[in-house]
Chains A and B, each alone.
Chain A
Amino acid sequence: MLEASNISAFYGDIQALWNISLVIRGGEIVTFIGSNGAGKSTIMKTIVGLVKPKEGNIVFEGIRLERLPAHKIVDLGISMVPEGRRLFPEMTVLENLEVGASTQAASRARSSTVNWIHELFPILEERSKQVAGTLSGGEQQMLAIGRALMARPKLLLIDEMSLGLSPLVVERILQVIQDVNRQKRLTIVLVEQDVGIALSVADRGYIIEHGRIVAEGDTKLLQGDGCLMEAYLGVNPKGKTG
């Protein structure tokens, strides 16, 4: 579905990604894991068009993405839930959702998509008229995910979903993500600092360190490889961060 080859990306003069090559297949849940500043978010931003790579190319369903502006990439079917949620703080919950469906295709199906989001996250329907800036952390995360889903994407990127959220809320959101993946065959890429969460939900994983991919594979295999876990993630063999 999506293939990135030899991506190098910079923030100004500082190189953030070195020769990144990866593959995302339709219907799977893939995770990028690694420590802070490793480059996981940068890869996501490069895919979605917020960062332009200096080298390499990204192909999504046959179309080259590197030169396209972000809003065109959304149009092609890739949507991202950014780190920190980035909701529109002065707009209501419903308006945030509606704005999520700003592409032509999505806007035609807007009301039915809103109903779907309300099924997934009933609290959002309750709080429809509330201004987004006043929601709790968990509700904001649900709204951010809902807003990204409003674009009816084929590929959903979620950046650091669990930050600042209680385990119960995270669990509920993960359940929704897995359901959507299974029922709608929505391909999902998850960037997570919490290794346990990432590996419990994903089919495959890429371990990122210092802007490079240092390991990849089935999450079962990754989990089983204790040396790998410890070396790159500081995770002891039982899967808990140490």
Chain B
Amino acid sequence: MAYGVLVGAMYGLITLGLGLLMGVMKFLNVAHGTFIILGGYVSYWLFTRYGLNPYLSIPLVIVVMFIIGLVVYKVTLSPLLKLPNVGSRLNSSMLITFGIIYVVDNLMTIFWKPDVRSIVAPFTGRSMDFFGTKLSVTGLCGFAVAIVIAVILYFVLGRTQFGKHVRAATQDAEAASLCGINVHRTYLISSGIAIALAGVAGVIIVSSYSISPNSGLRWLLVAFVVMILAGEGNIHAIVPAGLILGLLEAVGVFIVGAPYRQVVALVIFIVILIFRPQGLFRKGRLTYG
């Protein structure tokens, strides 16, 4: 159960970057998993080269991935803003980011070889005692990082001027520009943040699990499920939705056994899409504008 909570928080963290791009700009970044892995590789590289503790490498990973996010936006995503409607924007962003998967996955294979990597640090196998349950140190750290990031995001979106610009641009981009908001720059910075969030998730994954150049797809699927659970555009519901998924998976595994873990997630995905496509946390029906 507790394990479900730890994993769930991590699931939430993984999804934040995807949810941000989707919610703010209606871009579906299928390369999200790839960027997670890339973040993991950056942390791995810093660890093996310089012995840097992965959790301490997070700020560096954030900076690197943020810059990559800016470039991705400028080069591949911003041209899509000229498209007339949301539907074509969604489709085209899927196509373009699908292409990014090929490019980046292969670059990573060239740089780091196709072997599976993970960070094995002094704390890797260890666990701590928590009210009678043994919880892994990496799991606890992952949980902590997820909560901290979620809280920071909450404050940035809710209290800062930039956060208000993001929310305004999300709700009505034209009206936002009439208020003097530079919507393009807001989108640019949001893209940087989204990719940076993917990078942070990658650090957690390379420390708690393992990565290889093509393993992004698995995490992308998790992120899809969590995003659907949370409801499109509902950024603050993402970590709670992740927690729910984590708990449901733990329960499911308890009932049907560990090999079916991923099946549980995908079944939930299908059920939600059929019965409540607007997500668990959204009031009202799903509309296509």
Contact = CB atoms under 8 A, between A and B. Distances in A.
> Do these two chains interact?
yes
Interface of A: 48-50, 69-71, 74-75, 79-80, 82, 86-91, 95, 98-103, 106-107, 147-148, 150-151
Contact of A71 (B167, B171, B180): B180
Contacts, number: 71
Contact of B167 (A70, A74, A90, A106): A90
B179 to A, nearest CB: 5
B9 interface: no
A102 B180 contact: yes
Given A86-B172, A86-B174, A147 B179 contact: yes
B133 interface: no
B165 A99 contact: yes
B179 A99 contact: yes
A151 B179 contact: yes
A87 B164 CA distance: 13
A104 B177 CA distance: 14
B95 interface: no
Interface in B161-203: 161, 164-165, 167-168, 171-172, 174-184
B178 A74 contact: yes
A87 B179 CA distance: 11
Given A88-B167, A99-B168, A71 B181 contact: yes
B164 A106 contact: no
B177 A86 contact: no
A75 B172 CA distance: 19
Interface string B229-256: 0000000000000000000000000000
B182 A71 contact: yes
Given A88-B171, A89-B171, A90-B171, A70 B164 contact: no
A102 to B, nearest CB: 4
A103 B165 CA distance: 11
A95 B164 CA distance: 8
B179 A91 contact: no
Contact of A102 (B171, B172, B179): B179
A100 B164 contact: no
A91 B220 CA distance: 31
Question: Which one of A90, A99, A107 has the greatest number of beta carbons of chain B within 10 Å?
Answer: A99
B177 A69 contact: yes
Contact of B181 (A89, A90, A95, A102): A102
